[in-house]
Chain A
Amino acid sequence: MTCLEFRSILDRYVDRELSTDEMRRADEHLTGCATCREELASQQSLKQLMSGYVPPVQPPDDYWDQARDRVLAKTVLTADREQKQTDTLVDSHSYMPVMRSVLSVAASIALLAIALVLGSRHDRPAVVLSNQPHQVIVTAEMAELLKSPDGGPLTLGDQRRIGQASILMGGPGMVGRFNFLPGLLRIY
């Protein structure tokens, strides 16, 4: 075995992945080659050093529970609230449809105007995301934030999850759902 050959199997040597035959030939080479012995020693001590590595800093003990609560707030608890919202909206759906649609037209236009005005600041146009069945009007910056983390299209589930406080309005055929996103309010 040459030095070059030995170097090419050094990783496998250290990770104990060589066959008995390969191992024997490697050891033969090592007996006669101080340079490769040194190389092996440094590779082995690196592996040993790494195996004992623990991050030098650890969060305080109560961090773990708090972090878990925050995740639950973003997932489980949000899903519950969505369910409740949906239930309420379905219940009210049968009442006073005419009155509701008149009010909601006015409100929808007002909100659209607000969204457009807010959105037009800082050269960020408002965009309409229409991943049916509801339309969500958000500023471009919010659209950026709302983008599904996986890079795919924004699903209705994503919209619901992120929209912490949302209002559903409008009669048949009207623009329906507006999300008051905390981020939107914070930006301006």
Chain B
Amino acid sequence: MSESIPALLERFVQGDDLAFGELMARFQKKVYFLAYQTLGNHLDADEVMQETFVRIYRKRKELEHVANFTSFVIRVASNYAIDLLRKRKGQASTEDLSELPSAVQIDLSRRVRTPGEIWTDKHVMMEIQKALDTLPPRQKLTAVLHDVEGYSKAEIAVMLDCPEATVRSNLHIARTKLKKILAKRLARKEQ
């Protein structure tokens, strides 16, 4: 049986560095992919992921009072991702798949069946990522956290430190924009 998050958290707060490593192992993919969806490229996602855990390590003392560690992690990661996006002048730089280094693998195993479908899916995913990239940081994060990751509006309000009404309006605006950009794709889907 693997140790529960609260148990790991307690050990980490008390100064157990092994528990920190284990917590990172459990949450790093979540943080990486959220950052990737927000910033659109590996280097920035990597930076957000590493910096998030460095910050969490430094905030170890505050963690004693944290009710929901997942929300806390996402909050730290979102804050940094938003900062980084601002530094990039709001422009996410989505990687062009044709220019990817060979070390980067394409793995869509969750949905892949035939080579033909791999090609289609890869392009669908790129289309979605590019559409996401047109949104301002908070709208983008709200859309990703709600519609991709499946968090509730109340949870997202905590993660992004804003009222639930703001989550609703950001989600609404994000969806309206995405619908417009992805209109062709959505029409094909409905047929």
Contact = CB atoms under 8 A, between A and B. Distances in A.
Nearest to B110: A54
A41 interface: yes
B178 interface: yes
Interface string B133-174: 000000000010001101000000000000000001001100
Interface in A50-72: 50-61, 64, 67-68, 70-72
B179 interface: yes
B100 A57 contact: yes
Contacts of A157: 58
Nearest to A55: B36
B50 interface: yes
Interface in A17-64: 41-43, 45-61, 64
Contact of A50 (B95, B106, B143): B143
B182 interface: yes
B72 interface: no
A76 interface: yes
Identify the 6 closest CB pairs spanning chains A and B, nearest first: A56-B125, A50-B147, A75-B57, A76-B17, A71-B53, A58-B107
Given A11-B175, A75-B54, 9 more contacts: A45-B189, A49-B185, A54-B33, A55-B129, A57-B36, A68-B24, A72-B17, A76-B20, A76-B21
Contacts of A75: 20, 53-54, 57-58
Nearest to B183: A42
A9 to B, nearest CB: 11
28 contacts: A11-B175, A45-B186, A46-B178, A46-B182, A48-B189, A49-B124, A49-B185, A49-B189, A50-B128, A50-B147, A50-B178, A54-B110, A55-B37, A56-B126, A57-B97, A57-B106, A58-B104, A59-B104, A59-B105, A60-B103, A64-B28, A68-B21, A71-B24, A71-B53, A72-B17, A74-B54, A75-B57, A149-B80
Contacts of A43: 175, 179
B75 interface: no
B55 interface: yes
Contacts of B28: 64, 67-68
B189 A67 contact: no
Interface in B44-92: 46, 49-51, 53-55, 57-58, 80
Given A42-B179, A47-B147, A76-B57, A57 B95 contact: yes
A150 B55 CA distance: 9
Nearest to A39: B179
Interface residues of A, number: 33
A175 B105 CA distance: 52
Nearest to B95: A57
Contacts of A58: 104-107
Contacts of B183: 42
Contacts of A55: 33, 36-37, 125, 129
Nearest to B123: A56
Interface in A63-121: 64, 67-68, 70-72, 74-76
A11 B106 contact: no
Contacts of A61: 105
Contact of A52 (B107, B111, B190): B111
